[in-house]
Amino acid sequence: MFALSTRKIMIKKSFSYIGISFLNFLSLLPLPFLYVIAKGGYLFIYYIFGYRKLVVRENLRNSFPRKSLKEIIALEKTFFKYFADLIVEVVKLSHMSESELLKRVKFNNLDLVENYLNNGQSVLACTGHYGNWELGMVALGLKLKSTAYVIYKPLSNTVFDQWLYKIRTGTSNFFIPMRQTLRSIASTRTKTTMYCFAGDQTPIKDEARVWIDFLNQPTPVLQGIEKIALQTNRPVIYFNMQLVRKGYYEVDCYLVAEKPAETKEGEITTRNFKLLEEIINKHPAYWLWSHRRWKHKPENTK
């Protein structure tokens, strides 16, 4: 039994390495050509493979109950087209020059963050899985003089996780596994840093204790960034990344709380999700709808 299990793991790893080799080859191709491939990828993902199609449709229908089925399907298709573009953009990151990256991601008011950091004040930053957050975080590492620590959830596939980790840390960013957040903050408390969080992660079932109304449905939320903000009194900034045109983005920085210690319990979390909800409602297609964001339900809901 042990030998059979080991053999399955080795086979899975072998296929993973083959997949990585193929992705590395694709990353050498020009991005315009990769977008042509993405069109074919969209047709395969949406019409043939049907990757999480039911999940996306359910999420959209529950989030926008006033939209007709025709509108939901149109939005669903737009999401999958963008999702295919997002994949090739991430693949291209491993062979994208710094100058090209900075052309593709423009930070409009990063001085809001830099003013705190230049004065020796550490900052907490929050964003969601909206737009190409991977592209944005890598570009941020080129723009900031201070070190950015990005909190992430490792992939279950260790081979792909290592590949993506190498891409993510191609600039000056440090990526910290979610479970090591507090340890990392404690070890860097004497340094001027910015810790970045994806605030729309889904808690595991046992940690789904705090619920808010988000996109017309009860939603469990993580309060990690708020707890850290209250303990450290570091200003909280929200990064809003918007698609300007294919492959080009702009990022606006919003001040969520300058003095977290003066906020009420739950206020920072509510503000972050309120901002994300407003962003999604304006241009819904660019959020990660394929994520099982509402797989947990309140205990009093059947």
Contact 60, 75 (CB under 8 A): yes
- CA 47 from chain centre, in angstroms, equals 25
- Please tell me the predicted confidence (pLDDT) of residue 300: 54
Instruction: For residues 9 and 141, give the distance between their C-alpha atoms in angstroms, rounded to a whole number.
Output: 35
Residue 216's CB is within 10 A of a number of other CB atoms, namely: 12
Express each pLDDT in 213-225 by its tens digit: 999 999 999 888 9
What is the SS3 assignment for 218? Answer: strand
Q: Which residues lie closer than 8 Å to 287 by C-beta, 6 or more apart?
A: 79, 128, 129, 130, 280
Supply the pLDDT for residue 271. 95
Pairing of strands 217-220, 105-107: unpaired
Phi/psi at 275 (5° precision): -60, -45
What confidence score (pLDDT) does residue 302 get?
A: 46
Q: Coil, helix or strand for 215?
A: coil
CA dihedral 128, 54, 203, 267 (to 10 degrees): 50
User: 221 vs 272, 281, 282, 296, CA distance in Å?
Assistant: 11, 19, 22, 11
Which pLDDT does position 9 carry in this prediction?
Answer: 61
Quote the pLDDT of residue 277.
Answer: 97
Structure tokens at 171: 């600039």
Q: Which pLDDT score, from 0 to 100, does residue 231 have?
A: 93
Fold of 2-286: Glycerol-3-phosphate (1)-acyltransferase (3.40.1130)
pLDDT for position 7: 63
Predicted TM-score (pTM) of the model is: 0.90
Domain ranges of the chain: 2-286
Show the low-confidence residues of the chain (pLDDT under 70): 1-12, 300-302
